[in-house]
Chains A and B, each alone.
Chain A
Amino acid sequence: MTSLRPFHATDLFRVNAVNLDVLTENYHISFYLSYLAQWPTLFFSTVDPQGEITGYMMGKTEGRGKEWHGHVTCLSVAPDYRRIGLARTLVDNLERRSEDPYDAYFIDLFVRASNALAIGMYRNFGYSVYRRVVGYYGGDDTVDNEDAFDMRKPLKRDKNRESIRENGENFRVRPEDVYL
């Protein structure tokens, strides 16, 4: 049973089933609070009928002109609630909110080039690789330097689908070239 709920600061005490997962980052509280203070509409969760949080999405908007877009900062689903479409629900809602009220051209996200599972999932959602950011994941002494794929999906405002391209896997850029 999935209900979507807006995320509030006190929900940070209740995301353990999600955040104990090894691949889910636990950020400093200032990171979460800054997102809630700037993009409250783009931070929301899925809950079960008892109100337990089963997944959440942290999103934001950024960019200028035709680069104005929504961004998936963090999408995570509790292990017991995977493979039932929660990720899709969360991404769909981000897309909706990025269109209205933010009127963005596209949505994008960064994913490790080796993460075939996530890449496959986003492709199913209609995303494609826009570019390869060489050495994006680096500077961490527990993880090897790794490329990221910048994956994108055009929204209604991008009528000519200018925000995406073919064969983005071969279009290499450096991290400093990416709009942050």
Chain B
Amino acid sequence: MALQKSFPRRQYTLWTIASCYLLAISDGVTPQEKTLFSTLASRLIPLAEPVTTAEEAILKARVLELMPKSDDLISFLYDDATEKWNNLELATMRLEAVVKNERWDEVFDTSVATLTAENRDDFESWKQMAYATTKLDSEQRTKAFVELLEKRIKTRNGALAGVYYASLRDAEETFKAAKIYFENFAGRQCAFEDLRPYVMAFDVQQWLDFVDKQITFSTSIENATQSEVDTLVNARKFHYLLAPENKSFVDENISLYNKLLTSPALQDKLETDYFYGDDLILMAATWLLEGRPVSSTVPKEDVTVAVIVLLETAASRDKYQIYIRLWLTRLYLYMGCFQPALGHYSILSIKNIQVDVLSHYLLSRVSTICPTWKPLISTRDIYDANAVQTPYHIKKVYENGAFSQVAGFMEFGKRLSDSTNKGILCVEAKRIARILGMKMDGLAINPILVSTKWKENRDFSIMYAITRKGEETLETKYRLGPNQTGVWVNAFILKESIIDELLTADKRREHSSSLKDLLAKENLETLTPVEKWSLEMVLQLSAMVDSLTSDSVTTLQKCFTEGIEKFTRQGNTSLSWEWFHLRFTLVETAKIVVASLDSLAALPGVKKNGKVVSSINTSKKAIQAAVDILKEDAKKLKMGREKRTSACVKRISELDIVKNLDVS
């Protein structure tokens, strides 16, 4: 604004308008400030008129969007001078504005123009045109819409628009329209997802009978073409969704998959292509994981391994099938097998921005499942890059006048900077360093502070599943503990801060009181029981340091060793992520306590107090003894691994689903 006032160049005026717009839409301003900045932006617009680029037009439109009345916005968007830019963003805003204001005549006419005059086959236009038709309820409009629909019924968007339009009116019509769509597009992988929103309202048996009739093979299933495979798989997906009690589903899918192994769709594909037939195995896998009925029982303790066998078999034939790899990563981790999980995760080649969104599939709670530093090494790059590159490119956006991008860049930068995953990785790096006894300076992601603004960027929906609305997702069911939210991050940042205070004999205790508040007030579902205990132990340690006596040291030690005993008595005796998580958390907490006691004992004031020093030494021995028992138990379990594995392999290989799978 200062620039604009001092040097009234048009460019600076536009920058000021953009900045006022950003302030008006920002989270950090009051409603009064929002009004102030949006009004300021709108008053500056005439100084920059006429607009000379589509980007300037978009900026003006965005400012007008903030105004209480939308007439100016709609007039501007429909003005010939604006339409001449032929800009996708302006076209999108145009339709959105008239839909939002329920100006159905304009919705209808705009959509027709997009679909015919502009010849742009846009589903959103179809959808709004269909909706406007029902709202207008005019014979002329309905006739025009139906005519256009009939002309374009063989196109995917047209056929789906027909289904959508029918769904606004009549269940029977929807069924008919869905049949027309499926008859034309069953041989495309998208067909199931396209129709899924509508089929729950259908007569299940009628629909399943119909889709099954669409499955045909020109020669045989063993020679199925890609299109024939796609139709088959789509049909099976509807069975999965609509007939969850079919005990034969898994056997049928495995049998169909076996028959497709010789098909050209699999045999002739490139290594980097997808074989849609894999979905038959993925469906069998998720059916078992969901605990749905099967014709021959799989014992609960063997389900995960049995599913892994299915998926590994499919993966051996289709290396780059991402959904199989994601499930294998998850299931191996679920069993506490980090290395195989890492192997599958590595094939996905997750890097750059994907680290923020997808690395949680490997690195959730990694410090207490398999504390290892290598997978963490590159994770800081994306956050470092954001700190430098995003501000640089925001400057470029201003310089280039790319105003349509300015809000997105700001939001992108903030979301990465305040990413929950970033917070989690920073904490995990520190914890891994502690457990392994190494310096992790190269991994430190700084600065990392308690925040109320953690941004959730992680993608939890990419895992393959056919879930009904309202049901818990399989990804949630097989997650490694509760979701680590911003509360988790804050709790562990505070824990790390308290530890730093303790080890440096820093007398400040603000972090202890903040952690106490957090544990008292926040929703702690994000923590596992042992994580909560570990946080409470650190608080107790901090309190003990403040009122240091030999008794307080002994009390702390007793509390700690009782905690170890309690946790190791409960829970699994077999290897699983929980088994590792529990024990690594206990060991980590032990290290924190011992290191703090060592730090205390070295203080001049404490050294002189023989009783306290003696208590510290006794406590350290007791804690070390408890940890030694933990390690001894772990060793025994490890030694018994081969015997347990042989027993498991024997059981698994006798399961019908495994015996029926063609592994040749």
A residues at B contact (CB < 8 Å):
1-6, 8-14, 16-17, 19-23, 26-30, 32-34, 36-38, 40-41, 44, 48-49, 79-85, 89, 93, 96-97, 100-101, 117
Check if A100 sits within 8 Å of B86, measured CB to CB.
yes
Check if B190 sits within 8 Å of A80, measured CB to CB.
yes
Instruction: Return the contact of B404 from the options A4, A20, A40, A83 (Cβ within 8 A).
Output: A40
A-facing residues in B8-52 (Cβ within 8 Å) = none
Bound-state CA distance A17–B464 (Å) is 11
**With an 8 A cutoff between CB atoms, is B539 at the interface?**
no
**With an 8 A cutoff between CB atoms, is B152 at the interface?**
no
Enumerate chain A residues within 8 angstroms of B120, measured Cβ to Cβ: 4
Check if A29 sits within 8 Å of B390, measured CB to CB.
yes
**With an 8 A cutoff between CB atoms, is B193 at the interface?**
yes
Check if A9 sits within 8 Å of B409, measured CB to CB.
yes
A-facing residues in B288-328 (Cβ within 8 Å) = 320, 322
Check if A83 sits within 8 Å of B189, measured CB to CB.
yes
A-facing residues in B344-391 (Cβ within 8 Å) = 348-354, 356-358, 382, 385-386, 389-390
Bound-state CA distance A80–B412 (Å) is 27
- Besides A10-B415, A37-B393, 8 more A-B contacts (Cβ < 8 Å) are A1-B157, A3-B124, A16-B354, A28-B385, A33-B396, A34-B396, A49-B127, A79-B274
Distance from A75 Cβ to chain B, minimum over Cβ atoms (Å): 15
Instruction: Return the contact of A13 from the options B124, B322, B356, B404 (Cβ within 8 A).
Output: B356
Interface window among B87-95, B134-142, B529-537, B568-576: B87-95
Enumerate chain B residues within 8 angstroms of A21, measured Cβ to Cβ: 320, 322
Jot down 18 A-B pairs with beta carbons below 8 A, ordered by A: A8-B407, A8-B408, A8-B412, A13-B357, A14-B459, A16-B459, A29-B385, A30-B392, A33-B412, A34-B396, A36-B405, A40-B402, A49-B124, A49-B127, A81-B190, A84-B188, A85-B156, A101-B86
**With an 8 A cutoff between CB atoms, is B123 at the interface?**
yes
Distance from B45 Cβ to chain A, minimum over Cβ atoms (Å): 20
Residue of A nearest to B456 (CB): A13
Check if A17 sits within 8 Å of B353, measured CB to CB.
no
Check if A44 sits within 8 Å of B402, measured CB to CB.
no
Distance from B252 Cβ to chain A, minimum over Cβ atoms (Å): 22
Bound-state CA distance A30–B445 (Å) is 19
Q: Which 3 pairs show the lowest CB-CB distances between chains A and B? A: A8-B408, A9-B412, A1-B123
Residue of A nearest to B389 (CB): A30
In the complex, which of the residues B122, B190, B459 has the most CB atoms of chain A within 10 Å of its own CB atom?
A: B190
Bound-state CA distance A8–B188 (Å) is 29
Check if A8 sits within 8 Å of B320, measured CB to CB.
no
Enumerate chain A residues within 8 angstroms of B462, measured Cβ to Cβ: 16-17, 20
**With an 8 A cutoff between CB atoms, is B397 at the interface?**
yes
Bound-state CA distance A21–B270 (Å) is 13
Distance from A74 Cβ to chain B, minimum over Cβ atoms (Å): 13
Enumerate chain B residues within 8 angstroms of A4, measured Cβ to Cβ: 88, 120, 122
Enumerate chain A residues within 8 angstroms of B353, measured Cβ to Cβ: 12-13, 26, 29, 32
Check if B354 sits within 8 Å of A101, measured CB to CB.
no
Enumerate chain A residues within 8 angstroms of B124, measured Cβ to Cβ: 3, 49
B residues at A contact (CB < 8 Å):
54-55, 85-89, 92, 120-127, 156-157, 160, 185, 188-190, 193-194, 197, 226, 270, 272, 274, 320, 322, 348-354, 356-358, 382, 385-386, 389-390, 392-393, 396-397, 400, 402, 404-405, 407-409, 411-412, 415, 457, 459, 462
Distance from A87 Cβ to chain B, minimum over Cβ atoms (Å): 13
Bound-state CA distance A20–B329 (Å) is 14
Check if A41 sits within 8 Å of B88, measured CB to CB.
yes
Check if A37 sits within 8 Å of B405, measured CB to CB.
yes
Check if A3 sits within 8 Å of B123, measured CB to CB.
yes
In the complex, which of the residues A14, A17, A29, A30 has the most CB atoms of chain B within 10 Å of its own CB atom?
A: A29
Contacts known (A22-B272, A29-B389); A6 close to B88, Cβ less than 8 A: yes
Enumerate chain B residues within 8 angstroms of A1, measured Cβ to Cβ: 123, 126-127, 156-157, 160, 194
Distance from B485 Cβ to chain A, minimum over Cβ atoms (Å): 17
Bound-state CA distance A46–B197 (Å) is 19
Residue of A nearest to B388 (CB): A30
Check if B121 sits within 8 Å of A9, measured CB to CB.
no
In the complex, which of the residues B126, B197, B226, B349 has the most CB atoms of chain A within 10 Å of its own CB atom?
A: B349
Residue of A nearest to B88 (CB): A6
Check if B352 sits within 8 Å of A28, measured CB to CB.
yes
Check if B86 sits within 8 Å of A34, measured CB to CB.
no
Residue of A nearest to B397 (CB): A37
Enumerate chain B residues within 8 angstroms of A101, measured Cβ to Cβ: 54, 85-86
Instruction: Return the contact of B123 from the options A2, A14, A85 (Cβ within 8 A).
Output: A2
Check if B190 sits within 8 Å of A27, measured CB to CB.
no
Enumerate chain A residues within 8 angstroms of B457, measured Cβ to Cβ: 13
Distance from A97 Cβ to chain B, minimum over Cβ atoms (Å): 8
Residue of A nearest to B89 (CB): A6
Residue of A nearest to B386 (CB): A29
Check if A10 sits within 8 Å of B390, measured CB to CB.
no
Instruction: Return the contact of B385 from the options A5, A30, A40, A100 (Cβ within 8 A).
Output: A30
Check if A12 sits within 8 Å of B412, measured CB to CB.
yes
Check if B357 sits within 8 Å of A2, measured CB to CB.
no
Distance from A99 Cβ to chain B, minimum over Cβ atoms (Å): 9
Bound-state CA distance A85–B188 (Å) is 11
Bound-state CA distance A89–B156 (Å) is 12
Bound-state CA distance A178–B101 (Å) is 51
Distance from B351 Cβ to chain A, minimum over Cβ atoms (Å): 5
Enumerate chain A residues within 8 angstroms of B188, measured Cβ to Cβ: 83-84
Check if A38 sits within 8 Å of B400, measured CB to CB.
yes
Residue of B nearest to A89 (CB): B121
Distance from B110 Cβ to chain A, minimum over Cβ atoms (Å): 14
Instruction: Return the contact of A36 from the options B197, B274, B402 (Cβ within 8 A).
Output: B402
Residue of B nearest to A43 (CB): B405
Contacts known (A10-B412, A33-B389, A93-B88); A41 close to B123, Cβ less than 8 A: no
Instruction: Return the contact of A40 from the options B55, B386, B411 (Cβ within 8 A).
Output: B55
Distance from A98 Cβ to chain B, minimum over Cβ atoms (Å): 12
Check if A10 sits within 8 Å of B385, measured CB to CB.
no
Residue of B nearest to A32 (CB): B353
Check if A80 sits within 8 Å of B189, measured CB to CB.
yes
Enumerate chain A residues within 8 angstroms of B350, measured Cβ to Cβ: 20, 26
Distance from A13 Cβ to chain B, minimum over Cβ atoms (Å): 5
Bound-state CA distance A38–B404 (Å) is 11
Enumerate chain B residues within 8 angstroms of A93, measured Cβ to Cβ: 88
Bound-state CA distance A14–B460 (Å) is 11
Bound-state CA distance A19–B125 (Å) is 27
Check if A84 sits within 8 Å of B156, measured CB to CB.
yes
Enumerate chain A residues within 8 angstroms of B386, measured Cβ to Cβ: 29
Residue of B nearest to A13 (CB): B457
Check if B54 sits within 8 Å of A33, measured CB to CB.
no
Residue of A nearest to B93 (CB): A6
Bound-state CA distance A83–B190 (Å) is 9
Check if A2 sits within 8 Å of B322, measured CB to CB.
no
Bound-state CA distance A177–B494 (Å) is 58
Enumerate chain A residues within 8 angstroms of B189, measured Cβ to Cβ: 79-83
Instruction: Return the contact of A117 from the options B88, B270, B274 (Cβ within 8 A).
Output: B270
Contacts known (A5-B88, A36-B402, A84-B190); A30 close to B393, Cβ less than 8 A: yes
Enumerate chain B residues within 8 angstroms of A13, measured Cβ to Cβ: 353, 356-357, 415, 457, 459
Residue of B nearest to A5 (CB): B92
Enumerate chain A residues within 8 angstroms of B358, measured Cβ to Cβ: 16, 20
Distance from A93 Cβ to chain B, minimum over Cβ atoms (Å): 7
Enumerate chain B residues within 8 angstroms of A37, measured Cβ to Cβ: 393, 396-397, 400, 402, 405, 409
